[in-house]
Amino acid sequence: MIRVGVVGARGHVGSELLPILFRHPEVEVAWVTSKSAAGTPVQATCAAAPAGLDFAPASVELLARRDVDVAFLALPNGEAPAWAEVAGDVTLVDLSSDHRFDDRWVYAQPDRFRDAIVGSKRLSCPGCYATAAQLAIAPVASRARGTVCAFGVSGYSGAGTTPSERNDPEVLRDNLLPYSLVGHAHERELRRHLGLDVCFAPHVASFFRGLSCTVMIDLAEKTAAESLVAAYRDAYRGSRFVEVTDAPPRPRDLVGKHGVRVGLPAVGDDGARVVVVAALDNLLAGAASQAVRAMNLARGLDEGVGVLS
């Protein structure tokens, strides 16, 4: 059994990680932390938790004991490095953006970087928008010309639990909030991990979970629509986690699902531009499920164990 700890287990992402890990046939959850609920039973918020397990205080001393094989860090951005410093040989799966630009960490997007993840002990999981956008762009990345534009709309769980305008249901009611229209962290992440110039404009909507990302890609050469369609079908043929759909996917259909849907490209009349939509559940395929897939691969297990089974 793989002994696992979860830091930030009461946040939106942590709350999705816990049921997957408690039900995972190869995992024993040793401890889970919460700053605000330390000492209270985990079962009160997660029905899959065993009786008698309480949230532990979120102190790095816990990880410094190194009594687990794997620790998931589901913390706000900026908090993970302090935990990484004391982790030693423990495999870390960091869901924040803190290590996405660090060459010592593997960028743990399993559909694109599966081989690099296998055996790695430092796994930096992609952002939720960045997951959708890169899976929408990757099949034609080598044919792109100039700047790829991405337009994202997320449910407000993407903004975490710390109260802000972006997770305030009253502000969001019948509304759409654009934010970080230039320089969003996922824009830099996409540039780095696709090797392309990407501009990304995120928005928050009034639904709780789910995300849609529309990418617009100019092509270096005019290309027949059949060839572009084939590129998408070939890229994800046989994938258990990426489904290519004829019509653009819709985020509500992906809620509660571990996989991503990428619609076949809409191709402009002149064959020089494609528009592609990808949708996913930001808390699962864009976070918790993707992180567990990465752990599975890193530990030599089948990628789908505990996620699909």
**Min dist. Cβ of residue 72 to ligand NAP (A):** 10
For ligand NAP, the closer CB: 70 or 128: 128
Residue identified by tokens 């696709």 is 194
User: Is 228:266 a contact under the CB 8 Å cutoff?
Assistant: no
- Determine the residue with CB nearest ligand NAP: 11
HSE, side-chain direction, 13 A CA sphere, residue 84: 21
Tell me how far, at minimum, the Cβ of 1 lies from ligand NAP, in Å: 25
User: Residue 124 CB: number of other CB atoms within 10 A?
Assistant: 26
Residue 34: CB minimum distance to ligand NAP, A = 3
Residues that bind ligand NAP (CB under 6 A): 8, 10-14, 34-36, 58, 74-77, 79, 95-96, 127-128, 157-158, 160-162, 282-283, 286-287
Q: Indicate if 46 belongs to the active site.
A: no
Beta carbon of residue 304, minimum distance to ligand NAP (angstroms, whole number): 20
Give least dist CB 94 to ligand NAP, A: 8
Our CB check for ligand NAP shows the closer of 223 and 282 to be 282
Residue closer to ligand NAP by CB (options 206, 272) is: 206
The answer to whether 35 and 74 have CB atoms below 8 angstroms apart is no
Q: Name 130's Cβ contacts closer than 8 Å, sequence gap at least 6.
A: 186, 189, 190, 193
Strand 106-107 with 122-124, pairing: parallel
| Helix, strand, coil % in the chain, rounded to nearest 5 | 35, 25, 45
Q: Which of 125, 128, 199, 213 is catalytic?
A: 128
Q: Which of 30/264 has CB closer to ligand NAP?
A: 30
The residue (of 105 and 232) whose beta carbon lies closer to ligand NAP is: 105
Considering Cα of 117, then 118, then 122, then 128, what sign does the dihedral take? positive
Determine the Cα–Cα distance for residues 274 and 222; give it in Å rounded to an integer: 10
| Catalytic center residues | 128
